[in-house]
Structure 1
Amino acid sequence: MAPEPTLRLDWDDLKLFVEIARTGTLTAAAERLRLSQPTAGRRLRGLEEAIGAALFQRTPAGFRLTDEGEAMLVHAEQMAEEAVALQRKLIGGARGLEGVLRLSTSDWVSSRVLAAPLAGFAIEHPGLVVEVLADSRLYDLQRREADLVLRFVPFSGSDIVQRRFLRIRYALYAAPAYLERCGDPRASGDGNGHRLVTMNSALDQLPDVAWLRGRWPAALPAFRSNNREAQGAACVAGAGLAVLPRVIGDQLPLARLESEAPPPRDLWLGYHQDLRRLRRLRTLVDMLVAALPPEL
């Protein structure tokens, strides 16, 4: 009797399948795996041909798993989790000061807080490369999307080593031209006649946004953005009052309204416990702690 044909699957194609299932789009999965969209599409087609079934239904809302895809995802995710866990264990045992570290944080923290100490770190350790992922997405430490994450909310996993890293101070700012045009907001009871530069609606529950809205409920929004640097630029241009991190606002040609103090926020540092013995990661964390004051 002839032997049954052997199905050979490429692990990189399975990783792509898992990412498409998680993100819902080919484009997002390709970005996470650093593939071009045509390459990702070609790999997915090759995988489906090897399986002999469609794994996704292509819809206007994104990729939806077929029944065959649902069955395959259970096993593929288990394989992905085991592979990442093995990778963390192997990397966590590494002792040298060479290689790449992926650090995730927000755009303004990377440029205003970390850029200078990281530049010094690069000079001192030429065999190490720190790759900064500067965006608002919360990267997954379990899946090793990043080695080190700095973010404004504590980490929830019991396998994450975390600490309060920095306390970030905020202040209320206005351009001199705005104050000449609209007056000092501190003389207004509810902010009537004033305009606000603030976060977009998806982030309107942040403490500084709630503080600004509660302090001057009658003030109208003038400019919204999820980018602090863009808010600072709009404030400089006279669009309205803005709450900014002091590491941004104090460097701009703005008036800081001293008597108004929004609440500070804690920046948390975290990494997976499997990497706690990774010398290059410990060296980076120790450098950041030593180089930066506990409050900015």
Structure 2
Amino acid sequence: MAFDWDDLRLFLEIARAGTLTSAATRLKLSQPTAGRRLRALEQSVGAALFQRTSSGFLLTDEGEAMLLHAEQMAEEAVTLERKLAGGARGLEGVVRMSASDWVSSRILAAPLADFAISHSGLTVEVIADSRLMDLQRREADLAVRFVPFSGADIIHRRFRRIRYGLYAASSYLDRCGDPLSSDDGAGHQLVTMDSALDRLVDVMWLRSRWPSAAPTFRSNNREAQGAACAAGAGLAVLPRVIGDALDVQLLGGEEPPARDLWLGYHEDLRRLRRLRLLVEHLDQVLPTDI
């Protein structure tokens, strides 16, 4: 029995995501097309691979049996793709880079654009997403993130140090007073990360410095935090590259803790010339502390 590899990829994505919609989105397919291809695959196998439920798609026994072999095939295919890409000597092609939304826009976009302009035939694709992309599955060629990498086959290093500052709008200071004169923050308000990210070092620093202050605005988006701070919603710890560009005041006193950015790529791509030159370019143009 011959299988279409694209249909097997769809099967894998549904098994991983649990829904047809998510799998179709990841593979850039319409949902009707994905549904037709899944039905065709099940007809060729002669069995239902998923049980359709109100909470998503669950693997049947036949689907479980196929999953192991499909994952092995996918791993071999991605390994071959990485090795072929790693052997490419020219600069033509695509480099896919992953970073969070604000790191992509505030730190990387301009130097990446300069690099692409200087190298005709090259496309730099930036995935602005806080998800940790899987470099082994080649969801990205290169990743910049705040979490250290794991895996013996990932080449990684500390890339840059990101400085943070404490900010407040003039309207907030007029309304609530100078927070630096307060021991516990009573009567003050905070703009901070949402509860899912409340263990980040800057959030912990802010709460420990003013434990009696009330959180009035939370978001997992730094740009949204900055906009709320500028509107007078409260004190905010922001990356300097965001806060210094806003109409807010950088408050003195103790500086919030900095954070390290990590850079990593799969070892199979270490000889990929366009990736290597891109990393060298970023090292040349970006300051060590940002």
Tell me what 1:3 maps to.
none
Q: Does 1:283 align with 2:277?
A: yes
Of 43, 60, 73, 2:67 maps to 73
Q: Whole-Å Cα distance in 2 between the matches of residues 276 and 259 of structure 1?
A: 43
Tell me what 2:264 maps to.
270
Q: Whole-Å Cα distance in 1 between the matches of residues 192 and 139 of structure 2?
A: 30
SS at match of 1:53: coil
Q: Whole-Å Cα distance in 1 between the matches of residues 166 and 93 of structure 2?
A: 42
Decide whether the 8 Å contact of 1:165 with 1:269 is kept in 2.
yes
Of 108, 112, 116, 1:114 maps to 108
Indicate how the Cα distance of structure 1 residues 57 and 211 shifts in structure 2: closer, same or farther if over 3 A, else same.
same
Tell me what 1:190 maps to.
184
Of 109, 121, 142, 1:127 maps to 121
**After the TM superposition, which parts of structure 1 deviate over 6 Å for at least 4 consecutive aligned residues?**
none
TM-superposed CA distance for 1:143, in Å, is 0.1
Tell me what 1:217 maps to.
211
Q: TM-score, normalised by structure 1?
A: 0.96
Q: Whole-Å Cα distance in 1 between the matches of residues 203 and 54 of structure 2?
A: 34
For residues 162-214 of structure 1, give each alpha carbon's deviation from its aligned partner in whole angstroms, at most 9, with x where no partner exists: 11110000011000000000011111111111111111111111111111111
Q: Which amino acid aligns with 2:64?
A: E
Q: Whole-Å Cα distance in 2 between the matches of residues 17 and 244 of structure 1?
A: 42
For residues 98-147 of structure 1, give each alpha carbon's deviation from its aligned partner in whole angstroms, at most 9, with x where no partner exists: 00111000000010001110111111012110000001111100000000
Unmatched tracts of structure 1, length 5 or more? 1-6
Deviates most, 19-28 or 94-103 = 19-28
Deviates most, 234-243 or 255-264 = 255-264
Tell me what 1:83 maps to.
77
Q: Which amino acid aligns with 2:31?
A: Q
SS at match of 1:157: coil
Q: Whole-Å Cα distance in 2 between the matches of residues 77 and 115 of structure 1?
A: 34
Deviates most, 61-70 or 231-240 = 61-70
Q: Whole-Å Cα distance in 1 between the matches of residues 249 and 235 of structure 2?
A: 10
TM-superposed CA distance for 1:81, in Å, is 0.2
For residues 21-47 of structure 1, give each alpha carbon's deviation from its aligned partner in whole angstroms, at most 9, with x where no partner exists: 112122222222222222222211111
Deviates most, 53-62 or 112-121 = 53-62
TM-superposed CA distance for 1:50, in Å, is 1.2
Q: Whole-Å Cα distance in 1 between the matches of residues 132 and 192 of structure 2?
A: 21
Of 247, 254, 279, 1:253 maps to 247
Of 15, 28, 37, 2:22 maps to 28
Q: Which amino acid aligns with 1:273?
A: E
Q: Does 1:50 align with 2:41?
A: no
TM-superposed CA distance for 1:68, in Å, is 0.7
Tell me what 2:140 maps to.
146
Q: Whole-Å Cα distance in 2 between the matches of residues 67 and 277 of structure 1?
A: 42
Aligned length: 290
Q: Whole-Å Cα distance in 2 between the matches of residues 37 and 195 of structure 1?
A: 45
Of 220, 230, 233, 2:227 maps to 233
TM-superposed CA distance for 1:295, in Å, is 0.6
Decide whether the 8 Å contact of 1:174 with 1:255 is kept in 2.
yes
Q: Whole-Å Cα distance in 1 between the matches of residues 213 and 54 of structure 2?
A: 39
Q: Which amino acid aligns with 2:246?
A: L
Q: Which amino acid aligns with 2:222?
A: R
SS at match of 1:210: helix
TM-superposed CA distance for 1:48, in Å, is 1.1
For residues 245-283 of structure 1, give each alpha carbon's deviation from its aligned partner in whole angstroms, at most 9, with x where no partner exists: 000000111101121311100000000000000000001
Q: Whole-Å Cα distance in 2 between the matches of residues 240 and 276 of structure 1?
A: 45
Q: Which amino acid aligns with 1:95?
A: R
Of 171, 175, 179, 2:169 maps to 175
SS at match of 2:79: helix
Tell me what 1:199 maps to.
193
Decide whether the 8 Å contact of 1:171 with 1:260 is kept in 2.
no
SS at match of 1:167: strand
Q: Whole-Å Cα distance in 1 between the matches of residues 207 and 18 of structure 2?
A: 35
